[in-house]
Chains A and B, each alone.
Chain A
Amino acid sequence: MLPQRFDQAKPFLTLGLALLAWLVVPTAIKRMARVSFFELQAPLETTASYVRDLQEFWSLKTRSKNELIEAGRDLARLNAAYEVRLQRDSALRNELERLERVLKLPTPAGYRSEPARVVRRDFTSWWQQIVIRKGRNYGITEGSPVIYAGGVVGRIREVYAYTAVVELVSSPGVRIAATAEGDTRPISYQGGVNPTYGPAVGTVEYVPLDVFVSAATPRRLVTSGLGGVFPPNLTIGYMTRVEPSSDGLFKSGDVKLDASLSTLDEVTVLVPEPPPSAR
């Protein structure tokens, strides 16, 4: 029989041995196990999101006809405004293509828009992510930018069979090349620590010294298009404070992100497509 002291240490000895064994397990096996565990949970979470959608549908069914008529009227006005914009956009696109042909410029790669419903929001102090209801089955690729009506949501971190994980722009550690609206000089944006009961926040670095903002006069921060992940001129947030950094060469400060980031139900994935010449 083993001495009592050794018997008490047995759980810790087992833990140590298991840890050693885990370290020598090939990465491919760990990756396969991770994907299997995720895919095991995915149908349950997706079903829960469908149930939520059904709940929303039934709650909308309780609305009166007058409310629906008013909503339809507002939507018709919006559609008319968007029709005008689409026509203008089409004319500009034709002009751009004509100039590209005349100047023999290469056509930049485009994006295919893929709308997707949000399955789960996961906002911890360590990371911020959402799971969406489209994955490899819709050709979603890792690193694709994700946007919504208010601007940038984040980028795809992992793609699974029917779902994908989006790392949000508010997640600490996420970096995006940005510019202040109306300026072409690059600024570095990074997600920050998001306080409880408040909107998501981020930070900016390498802001030029002649950029002045305050909480009363915030300035829009947009994607620069550098790095090739995000298309240019998408809203990231609003710079509310900038102060000279310790080296005195640049400024750094805070960015207030859209509060609706934490209530998103639908997003659009921009799946990169090869330029027409490469197709």
Chain B
Amino acid sequence: MKRRVLILFAASVLLALLLGLLNHYLAIWQVHVWCGGLFVAFAALRLDYRTGALAAFVAGLLLDAGEPVAFGTQGFLFLAAHAVVFTVRARAPREETIIGVVVALLANLGLFLALGFLRISPVVEPAQAWLRGFADLLVSQIVLALIGPWFFSLQARLLEMTGTHRRNFARRAF
């Protein structure tokens, strides 16, 4: 289990770095891409509960480290999103990439709104803040839909290369 979590963590570090680079360039237009749903979807859909939950939680902590929020905020939101997706995953063909992308999009939407409620300060004009937030969300969903299949494939390949193929435990619940 430890090795699988480490592999998924390495993939999360790579994704966080790439999104950070993208946001660096998008800052010129005051646009920010946030793809939290992508850190959760693969682990929740295709792995056993413990591995997936730990990978999602650690990915959340990774994002929390560089942001001015209480440490653990995104960690627990990712854990909650993981629990929801894990509970309903049996109702969908979860091995399909398209399903993974749809789940990632839905998880991203839910997580973005939850974070918005937690982060938007009542001191600042909330209507304007939400308007800007929705613009960011729209761009984020487009980016997520574009890079989702690549990230799923990357995680699957990394697990295969290290001999921890997901099919070995894909049907196990706990």
Chain A residues with CB under 8 Å of B21's CB are 48, 120
Contact bitstring A38-70, B, C-beta under 8 A = 1, else 0:
101100110010000000000000000000000
Name which residue of chain B comes closest to A13, CB basis.
B83
Contact pick for A167, options B28, B53, B68, CB 8 Å? B68
Number of interface residues of B (CB under 8 A): 51
Q: Is residue B98 within 8 Å, beta carbon to beta carbon, of the partner chain? A: no
In the complex, are the beta carbons of B29 and A196 less than 8 A apart? yes
Cβ-neighbour of B24 out of A12, A44, A120 (below 8 A):
A120
**B-side contacts of A193, CB under 8 Å:** 124-125, 128-129, 132
Q: When chains A and B are docked, how far (Å) is the Cα of A131 from the Cα of B30? A: 16
Could you tell me the distance between the alpha carbons of A120 and B57 in the complex, rounded to whole angstroms? 24
Complex: how many Å from CA A241 to CA B31?
25
Cross-chain contact of A120 among B20, B76, B135 (Cβ < 8 A): B20
Beta-carbon contact of A122 and B13 below 8 Å: no
Bound-complex Cα distance A190 to B123 (A): 10
Cα-based distance from A122 to B20 in the complex (angstroms)? 8
Q: Tell whether A106 is near chain B: CB-to-CB under 8 Å.
A: no
Count residues on chain A whose CB falls below 8 Å from chain B CBs.
Answer: 49
| Interface 9-residue window, one of A15-23, A77-85, A89-97, A108-116 | A15-23
Complex Cα–Cα for A127 and B129 (A): 11
Q: Decide: A194 and B132 in contact? CB cutoff 8 A.
A: yes
Given A15-B79, A121-B23, A123-B32, answer yes or no on A195-B132 (Cβ-Cβ < 8 Å): yes
Report the separation of the CA atoms of residues A270 and B7 in the bound assembly, to the nearest whole angstrom.
41
The interface stretch among A29-37, A146-154, A216-224 is: A29-37
Chain A residue at minimum C-beta to C-beta distance from B25: A121
Interface string of B117-147 (1 = CB under 8 A from A): 0011101110011011101100000000000
Against A, the Cβ 8 Å flags (1 = close, 0 = not) of B8-34 are 000001001100110110111111101
Q: Residues of B contacting A7 with CB < 8 Å?
A: 173
A125 touches B62 (CB 8 A): no
User: CB-nearest residue of chain A relative to B26?
Assistant: A123
- B 152-174 to A, binary, CB cutoff 8 A, 1 in contact else 0: 00000000000000000000011
Q: In the complex, what's the smallest C-beta–C-beta distance from B115 to chain A, in angstroms?
A: 8
Residues on A with C-beta less than 8 A from B16 are 41
Q: Is B61 engaged at the interface, CB distance under 8 Å to the other chain?
A: yes
Nearest B residue to A195, CB-CB: B132
The interface of chain B, by Cβ under 8 A from chain A, is 13, 16-17, 20-21, 23-24, 26-32, 34, 49, 53, 57, 61-62, 64-68, 71-72, 76, 79-80, 82-83, 86-87, 115-116, 119-121, 123-125, 128-129, 131-133, 135-136, 173-174
Measuring CB to CB, which residues of chain A are less than 8 angstroms from any residue of chain B?
7-8, 10-12, 14-15, 18-19, 22, 30-31, 33-38, 40-41, 44-45, 48, 120-127, 129, 131, 157, 165, 167, 172-173, 190, 192-198, 200, 262-263
A–B complex contacts, Cβ < 8 Å, 14 sampled: A7-B173, A10-B174, A18-B79, A31-B71, A33-B71, A34-B71, A123-B30, A172-B121, A193-B128, A195-B128, A195-B131, A197-B29, A197-B30, A263-B27
